[in-house]
């Protein structure tokens, strides 16, 4: 494992921020004691009003009470986290747990509480070692730290109350998906070619006569991140053409082929430097994995329309959010996966799925389990209409209309009354108008 991947895992682990805050608390406690002892040595305490100074017993009492209080707040915080995780696991989706655990506010609050506890505990220890009679900095800073912890505690309770609402969870997942699309668009803008033909840079006799070689995975797991910029720089230096065989979010086994590459000359290079820029982990993440974010929204919708929960309006919110995400997908040109170096030479060809495939994987389970719910079916047609409105390209509109026809084929017509059919036909007619397909007769 490369040092870069190792450091990334440490930084995004749940215990990193609490450990970092605890380290700062140790330094802060040492600084507080040293400053107070320095002030005592140069007789500054004699020039300070007596009501601002505290003796050893009073300071010890204050620190003991604060340490106990901080430990209690930390226990309440852990209990709140467990309640929230249990709610996510039972009502939403097991995949949504990492949304809350990876939230920096959650880890920061735990870090502040644990660091403050270490701060008070170390001050008590060092006060017993020291023979100093009066203190100014230690009790003053202790009260300020306690006030800071109290503010964080109130804020965390409000934060938990906000996160436990399903609409806020859905919005957070949707925003993560849009960030992935925006990041991909920025990369595409910087690494796309200005030439009309994407194949003209490498489709020559020299490359076609070269036999491709395989780069194999060094471990099993999910592809979490691909550093395209760094790989392109390496490929430009080594004069390589790379075609990815796997995509972000795919599960691979040790020894599986990650990408194929062609070398135009016989220069020496290390393929391990390329593999170090492809991070593989045991779990999927939403750092670059758009399909994983879509899967979370789909699972929340499926839980909502299940007989045990029976909350179709939550499913409708998820479907509308899916439409919002997919409406950005054709605009971002994800079906043109060609990336070039600074000299406009083709360096990487990604293995991207078609828009039709992503559309099907987003809605096929919702269509199957919601085929008897008129509100869910109508929300799917509304989401398709939103995508069609934002994506005026004829191929995309044709794909949307074909998918709408497939949905109509799977509708359980025996459970629909005439008003249901009329309502759904209006939604289909609106989609037909946006995609340029007029309905000669009602679908339902």
Tokens 């938990």 correspond to 160
**Mean confidence (pLDDT) of the chain:** 82
Band (pLDDT 50/70/90 cuts) for residue 48 is low
pLDDT in tens, 118-145: 888 888 887 766 666 667 777 888 888 8
Last residue of a domain, one of 164, 185, 204: 164
Q: Distance between CA atoms of 88 and 375, rounded to whole angstroms?
A: 24
| Nearest C-alpha neighbor of 220 from the set 283, 153, 308 | 283
Whether residue 89 lies inside any domain: the answer is yes
Same domain, 154 and 297: no
Counting the structural domains of the chain, the total is: 2
Over residues 284-302, the mean pLDDT reads 90
**Phi then psi dihedrals of residue 218, to 5 deg:** -90, -5
Whether residue 46 lies inside any domain: the answer is yes
Whether residue 47 lies inside any domain: the answer is yes
pLDDT at 441 over 70: no
Last residue of a domain, one of 121, 147, 164: 164
Q: Distance between CA atoms of 152 and 16, rounded to whole angstroms?
A: 18
pLDDT in tens, 112-121: 888 888 888 8
**Phi then psi dihedrals of residue 233, to 5 deg:** -65, -40
Whether residue 111 lies inside any domain: the answer is yes
Q: Which token pair is 370?
A: 């919601």
Whether residue 94 lies inside any domain: the answer is yes
Which of the residue ranges 2-6, 250-254, 262-266, 402-406 would you say has the lowest mean pLDDT? 2-6
Cβ pair 391, 397 in contact under 8 A: yes
Q: Which token pair is 14?
A: 């749940």
Whether residue 287 lies inside any domain: the answer is no
Q: Which token pair is 94?
A: 């097991």
Over residues 409-419, the mean pLDDT reads 85
Whether residue 261 lies inside any domain: the answer is no
Q: Distance between CA atoms of 215 and 276, rounded to whole angstroms?
A: 12
- Domain span at 15: 3-164
Instruction: Give the pLDDT score at 201.
Output: 47
pLDDT in tens, 321-374: 999 999 888 655 555 678 888 888 888 888 878 888 889 999 999 988 888 889
Last residue of a domain, one of 164, 180, 200: 164
Whether residue 91 lies inside any domain: the answer is yes
pLDDT in tens, 175-229: 999 988 888 877 776 666 555 455 544 544 555 556 788 899 888 999 988 888 8
pLDDT at 419 over 50: yes
């Amino acid at each position: 494992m490369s040092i870069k991947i190792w450091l990334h895992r440490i930084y995004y682990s749940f215990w990193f921020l609490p450990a970092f805050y605890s380290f700062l608390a140790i330094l802060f406690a040492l600084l507080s004691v040293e400053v107070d002892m320095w002030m005592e040595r140069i007789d500054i305490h004699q020039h300070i009003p007596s009501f601002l100074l505290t003796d050893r017993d009073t300071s010890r009492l204050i620190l003991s009470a604060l340490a106990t209080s901080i430990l209690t707040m930390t226990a309440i915080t852990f209990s709140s986290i467990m309640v929230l995780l249990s709610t996510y696991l039972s009502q939403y989706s097991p995949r949504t747990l990492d949304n809350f655990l990876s939230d920096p506010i959650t880890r920061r609050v735990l870090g502040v509480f644990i660091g403050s506890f270490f701060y008070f505990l170390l001050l008590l220890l060092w006060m017993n070692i020291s023979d100093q009679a009066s203190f100014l900095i230690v009790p003053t800073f202790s009260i300020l730290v306690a006030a800071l912890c109290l503010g964080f505690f109130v804020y965390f309770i409000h934060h938990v109350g906000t996160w436990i609402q399903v609409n806020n969870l859905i919005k957070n997942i949707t925003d993560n998906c849009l960030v992935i699309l925006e990041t991909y668009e920025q990369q595409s803008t910087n690494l796309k070619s200005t030439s009309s033909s994407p194949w003209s840079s490498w489709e020559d006799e020299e490359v076609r006569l070269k036999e491709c070689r395989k780069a194999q995975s060094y471990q099993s797991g999910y592809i979490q991140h691909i550093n395209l910029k760094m790989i392109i720089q390496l490929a430009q230096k080594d004069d390589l053409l790379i075609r990815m065989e796997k995509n972000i979010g795919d599960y691979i086994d040790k020894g599986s082929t990650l990408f194929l590459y062609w070398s135009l000359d016989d220069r020496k290079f290390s393929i391990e430097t390329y593999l170090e820029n492809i991070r593989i982990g045991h779990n999927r993440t939403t750092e670059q994995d758009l399909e994983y974010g879509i899967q979370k929204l789909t699972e929340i919708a499926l839980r909502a329309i299940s007989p045990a929960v029976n909350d179709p309006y939550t499913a409708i919110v998820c479907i509308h959010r899916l439409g919002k995400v997919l409406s950005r997908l054709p605009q971002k040109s994800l079906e043109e996966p060609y990336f070039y170096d600074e000299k406009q030479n083709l360096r990487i060809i990604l293995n991207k799925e078609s828009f039709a495939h992503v559309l099907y994987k987003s809605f096929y389970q919702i269509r199957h389990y919601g085929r008897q719910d008129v509100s869910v079916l109508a929300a799917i047609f509304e989401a398709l209409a939103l995508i069609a409105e934002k994506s005026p390209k004829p191929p995309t509109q044709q794909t949307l209309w074909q998918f709408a026809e497939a949905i109509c084929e799977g509708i359980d017509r025996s459970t629909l009354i005439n008003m249901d059919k009329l309502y759904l036909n209006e939604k289909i007619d609106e989609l037909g108008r946006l995609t340029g397909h007029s309905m000669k007769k009602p679908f339902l």
